[in-house]
Amino acid sequence: MPTAPALVGRFAEALMGRRACVLATEQIAPDFLEVEFRAEPPPGGWQPGHEVQVRATRTEGRRYTVHGVVDAQRITILTVLHGDAPGTRWLRALRPGTEITLLAGKHVAARLPGTRLIFLGDGSALGTFNAHTAVGHGAVTTTTVIEAPPGSVAALSDRCPGYRILPALDDEPGATTQAWLDDALRNGDLADVDGALLLGHAQSIQQQRRALITGTTLDRRAITTRPYWATGKAGL
Ligand SMILES: Cc1cc2nc3c(=O)[nH]c(=O)nc-3n(C[C@H](O)[C@H](O)[C@H](O)COP(=O)(O)OP(=O)(O)OC[C@H]3O[C@@H](n4cnc5c(N)ncnc54)[C@H](O)[C@@H]3O)c2cc1C
């Protein structure tokens, strides 16, 4: 429901709305904001990886992912501040004490095939990858590659030492990840991988999936994908 009449938005809030209050915001890197909420739990409680929707404006909804569950009523989301758009403006305006409504249903956990996994995504996927890493999924090894705005690479690399953080090119989302992936496939670095999770920019995900299917023994069922945004499209 990226865009919907105000009445539909209010109806959705009445059905699935959880009252929430901002406890803290932290700019963990120049382009990344972590927000902690106290929030009424949905049925089954909050889980890492829980999808939530907010009304960024009266008519526009935007989706984010719970990346940390501190306790039954305290959760965090991790977001990329990518420009002047409704979701990003909504995030920038949050202050401790701001009261909002989060739309959330019962959590449906993603099933990740494989035990030697590769996670590929951009800044919008960082929180979700953190959630999957915390859950573990029985993975033996996980290679996580995140493409981020260049100004945030150093801070994210310090904060996420196990992840490979690559600088994004202006106006070419996915290009540095694709170059890294092509290199890794050429060098046989991914020969062991038996499952993949591709999140973030829709057009990049398609290219990455093609490269993995062509360059490894992975078939489509071993590759889980979820587009989070698409070039030229508002909300998803
Ligand atoms: C299930 C789900 C979970 C998500 N979880 C998270 C999360 O935890 N953290 C997070 O940061 N994002 C997350 N996203 C992505 C986020 O909802 C989108 O990036 C959303 O489009 C942002 O809204 P906006 O109003 O800022 O930009 P929009 O109005 O949607 O888009 C405006 C313009 O910016 C471009 N754009 C949109 N998003 C990005 C981006 N991330 N980087 C660069 N350009 C962009 C669009 O192509 C468009 O041209 C999630 C999306 C989904 C579907």
Domain boundaries of the chain, sorted by first residue: 6-103, 116-229
Interval between CA 92 and ligand 1 midpoint (Å): 14
* Fold match, 6-103 / 116-229: no
Question: For residues 170 and 156, what is the distance between their CA atoms, to the nearest angstrom?
Answer: 18
Q: Report the amino acid identity of residue 161.
A: P
Pairing state between β 61-71 and 74-80: antiparallel
Per CATH, the number for 6-103 is: 2.40.30.10
Q: CB-based contacts of 206: which residues, under 8 Å, 6+ apart?
A: none
Predicted pLDDT of residue 11 = 67
Predicted pLDDT of residue 230 = 96
Predicted pLDDT of residue 109 = 87
Beta bridge partners of 223: 196
Pocket test for ligand 1, best of 228, 231, 236 (most atoms within 8 A of CB): 228
State residue 213 phi and psi, 5-degree precision: -70, -40
Pocket test for ligand 1, best of 46, 124, 171 (most atoms within 8 A of CB): 124
Q: Is the CB of 235 under 6 A from ligand 1?
A: yes
Predicted pLDDT of residue 72 = 96
Predicted pLDDT of residue 137 = 78
Q: Report the amino acid identity of residue 148.
A: A
Predicted pLDDT of residue 1 = 56
Predicted pLDDT of residue 124 = 98
Predicted pLDDT of residue 136 = 82
Q: How many CB atoms lie within 10 A of CB 158?
A: 11
Predicted pLDDT of residue 147 = 98
Contact 177/147 with Cβ under 8 angstroms? yes
State residue 225 phi and psi, 5-degree precision: -130, 150
> How confident is the prediction along the chain (236 residues), in pLDDT tens digits per residue?
577 667 666 667 767 789 999 999 999 999 999 999 999 999 999 999 999 999 999 889 999 999 999 999 999 999 999 989 999 999 999 999 999 999 999 999 888 888 999 999 999 999 999 999 988 877 778 999 999 999 999 999 999 999 999 999 989 999 999 999 999 999 999 999 999 999 999 999 999 999 999 998 898 999 999 999 999 898 88
ipTM of the complex model: 0.98
Predicted pLDDT of residue 139 = 77
Interval between CA 228 and ligand 1 midpoint (Å): 6
Question: CA nearest 91: which of 64, 66, 68?
Answer: 64
Predicted pLDDT of residue 111 = 82
Q: Which CATH class is domain 116-229?
A: alpha beta
